Amino acid sequence: MSPPLRYLSVPKGGMKTKMRTKSRKALSPVVASIILIAVTVAVSIAVAAWMGALTFNFMGSSSLTITDVNFDSTAPMYNITLTMKNTGTKQVTIGQIKINNVNIPTANYTGTTTLAPGVSGQTLKIMYYAWSNGNPYKIELYDSNGQGVGSTQVNAPQ
């Protein structure tokens, strides 16, 4: 036997059904994910390029090459003339010179103390340095920050 009709009655107000309709303006989740990933990759590439440029600017190298050393024994002064080349990527200002681990006072040298990158043929004269014939001399150059930027080992002429 079938149940009475009152149990199969429709709720008050009739049947309500919700129909979902797709909006043509919405993006599918796959397309939205692809766009999000593309934007993230583009921003990360831009940040990496920017950081690389900062690192290159801060990490430039300071390096001098002493291309020639000339010992002059004109009495009463004994001089040593250095010819240098900046082989680094930054400008170098010489702040200290040592010969055989002894500091040379700044008043005792004249000439070019600041070299731009790539500049060569600049000279620096160390005056009043009593060198001896045939003895070895280690000449070290330091920049204004105290970093070693160049050195050479030479023997004075006989």
Per residue in 30-44, pLDDT tens? 888 999 999 999 999
Tokens of 26: 């919405």
Average pLDDT over residues 87-108: 91
Yes or no: say if 100 and 152 are a contact pair by the CB < 8 Å rule: no
Confidence tier at 128 by pLDDT (50, 70, 90): confident
At residue 141, does pLDDT exceed 60? yes
User: Between 16 and 46, where is the model more confident?
Assistant: 46
Cα–Cα dist 149/145, whole Å: 10
**pLDDT band at residue 18 using 50, 70 and 90 as cut-offs:** low
Distance of alpha carbon 146 from the chain centroid? 18
* pLDDT, tens digit, 9 for 90 and up, residues 51-78: 887 776 566 788 899 999 999 887 667 8
CA separation (Å) from 98 to 35, 78, 119? 61, 16, 22
Out of 3.40.50.10710, 3.30.70.1400, 2.60.40.770, 1.10.3720.10, which CATH number does the structure's domain 64-155 have?
2.60.40.770
For 70-75, which contacts have Cβ atoms below 8 Å and span 24 or more sequence positions? 71/131, 71/156, 71/157, 73/131
pTM of the model: 0.61
Domain residue extents for the chain = 28-59, 64-155
State how far the Cα of 46 lies from the Cα of 93, in Å rounded to an integer: 34
Which has more pLDDT, 64 or 13?
64
